[in-house]
Amino acid sequence: MEIEDLSRIPQNFAELAGAAGDRLMIGDACSGQLLDEFKERFFSRWTLSVPLYDPAESIKSMKKDARGGWYGTNKRKVAREQKQELLDNCDLDTFPSRSDKAIAVAPGHLRGLPTRLPFYERREGAPFDMLSNPQVKLNEPLRVLHTSKDGVWYFVETGYSNGWLERRDVALVDAAFIDSWMQSAPLVIVRDYQPVADGRGIGIFPAKIGTILPLGQAGNGWWEVRVASAGEGGKAETRTSRIPRDAAAPFPLPFNKEKVALLGDQMLGQPYGWGESYALRDCSALLRDFFLPFGIWIPRTSADQIASVRQRLQLAALAPPEKEELIKRKSLPFLTLLYKPGHIMLYAGEDREGRPLVFHSAWSIRIKEGEGERTQVVGTSAITTLEPGKELGLVPGGSLLERATELTTITDRCKVSR
């Protein structure tokens, strides 16, 4: 049974973006400040020498993952010997052993331990792979901090996360390479999963919205972009690839109704992907990729995203009717984040009955069943009210409205008026 919101509420951005009118804008000064912040964070693994994350905490996290009582793909407990082998392969006695600037030469997936295998908390725990960290986009700046004992994996940092990445997806960069790339005019992918060739005639990678590629030259109906490739000794080489003109645009995009609809409509109706597994998106990845083409940096996890703006409204103590009115009064369409513990949403305006709408990617809701309750899978990105599934009988206190605790607006990060 499908929740009513998915059929009752038009699943398109154009109408809501158009209804936002002048509220859907960011002033030039604020846009410039947000872009400066974006560049600082995006290139930080090339420009800053110190780790973003405490190595001691990284070691603690790996040891914790190796001690967990996980289930594998066969729905059996992962053997203690298998977990110990993974921990041994981390070679933590020498961690971190290096600090080398690098770049992603393919979309890759950060992992909590050096393995592709998923680890689940429960026998029926899919899709929640607890080793799944964010996906790394093609051409993303990295810092290599360590090599696994078998040499297959690198432990890397991005500007927003860290974890194990397969070595084949990484190439080392030098000062000349970095200068060339940072000074180039950037394009950003605006067609989701756009195929981008590696320039060697070997591989073609699906580039998600938000992938940034240096511009080589522009032609009639095409862009020539620069892509990084691993050459001799694992060092980065620059190659070129052509993509259709409408697959990318000069970075950053202007924040207006046309561009908001262009990106948002492609992201609607996509399957939920915990930790970006299978190159999909969960709630925080959805919002991060939505804002990225506009030159707006937000962190990776939902808790960090809401905390990225110091000025926040506290909602937890309010009754649902008061909370709903405050959300409507204080929110800006497609710029305001709404948070409940473990989940982040983007305010999208109001429906015809005047109820707040949000854009988010949700796995499930809890509904009443007899004397108990059950899980109703949503499993998609959608525009909904703050009470999706209400008609099915939500458990008491289980609606997004009741559980929302904080609200903030991205432009409140600016020191100048939006």
Confidence of residue 23 (pLDDT cuts 50, 70, 90): confident
- Please compute the mean of the pLDDT values over residues 88-99 and round it to a whole number: 98
Mean pLDDT over residues 51-79, rounded? 97
Rg (CA), the chain: 22
> pLDDT tens-digit profile of 181-213?
999 999 999 999 999 999 999 999 999 999 999
Q: What is the CATH number of domain 43-176?
A: 2.30.30.40
Q: In the chain, which residues fall in CATH 2.30.30.40?
A: 43-176, 184-227+234-250
C-alpha count within 13 angstroms, C-beta hemisphere, residue 146: 23
The DSSP bridge partners found for residue 108 are 136
Q: Does residue 84 register a pLDDT over 70?
A: yes
Cα–chain center distance at 410: 16
Helix (H, G, I), strand (E, B) or coil at 337: strand
Determine the Cα–Cα distance for residues 111 and 164; give it in Å rounded to an integer. 5
Q: What pLDDT shows up at residue 418?
A: 57
Instruction: Read off the tokens for 88.
Output: 């041994």
Q: Where in the chain is the domain with CATH 3.90.1720.10?
A: 4-26+255-413
Q: What DSSP string runs through 178-215?
A: HHHHHTSPEEEE-STTEEEE-SSSS-EEEEPTT-EEEE
Give the chain's mean pLDDT: 96
Nearest of 102, 117, 159, 100 to residue 134 by alpha carbon: 159
Number of H helices, E strands in the chain: 12, 20
Q: Fold for domain 184-227+234-250?
A: SH3 type barrels. (2.30.30)
Say whether 369 sits in a helix, a strand or coil: strand
Class of domain 4-26+255-413: alpha beta
Q: Where are the alpha helices (DSSP H) in 75-174?
A: 80-90
Cβ neighbour number for residue 370 with a 10 Å cutoff:
6
What digits encode the pLDDT tens for the residues 104-158? 999 999 999 999 999 999 999 999 999 999 999 999 999 999 999 999 999 999 9
Structure token digits, residue 244: 């259709």
pTM exceeds 0.85 for this model? yes
Q: Which residue has the tokens 């008609």?
A: 391
Integer Cα distance of 279 and 82 in angstroms: 26
